[in-house]
Amino acid sequence: MRWRAVVAVELKPGVLDPQGEAVREALRRMGHDHVSDVRVGKRIQLLLEAAEEGEARARVRDICESLLVNPVLERYAFDIEPEGER
């Protein structure tokens, strides 16, 4: 069975985000001074095979912790659903 996982990776609170700061400053220059904070992270969509949801979740967790996420600086969360549900 095929699953679609969407992983959100973001910098931990307290970790400086120069890319987010650059976006915020660009927005300020464009007149968007109502924006007080910007944090830029990654959104990674995976299609994977697994017999059932528990196995799919375990695989995605393993992929996050072994490749996608730097646990010193980043944290992650993911949603998973059978492919084709939307």
What does the longest C-alpha to C-alpha distance in the chain come to? 51
46 binds a copy of itself (CB under 8 A): yes
Q: Does 58 bind a copy of itself (CB under 8 A)?
A: no
CB of 82 to a copy of itself, least distance (A): 14
Residue 7 contacts by C-beta under 8 Å, 6 or more apart in sequence?
A: 42, 43, 44, 45, 46, 60, 64, 68, 76, 77, 78
79 binding a copy of itself? (CB under 8 A): no
Residue 59 interacting with a copy of itself (CB under 8 A)? yes
Q: Tell me how far, at minimum, the Cβ of 72 lies from a copy of itself, in Å.
A: 19
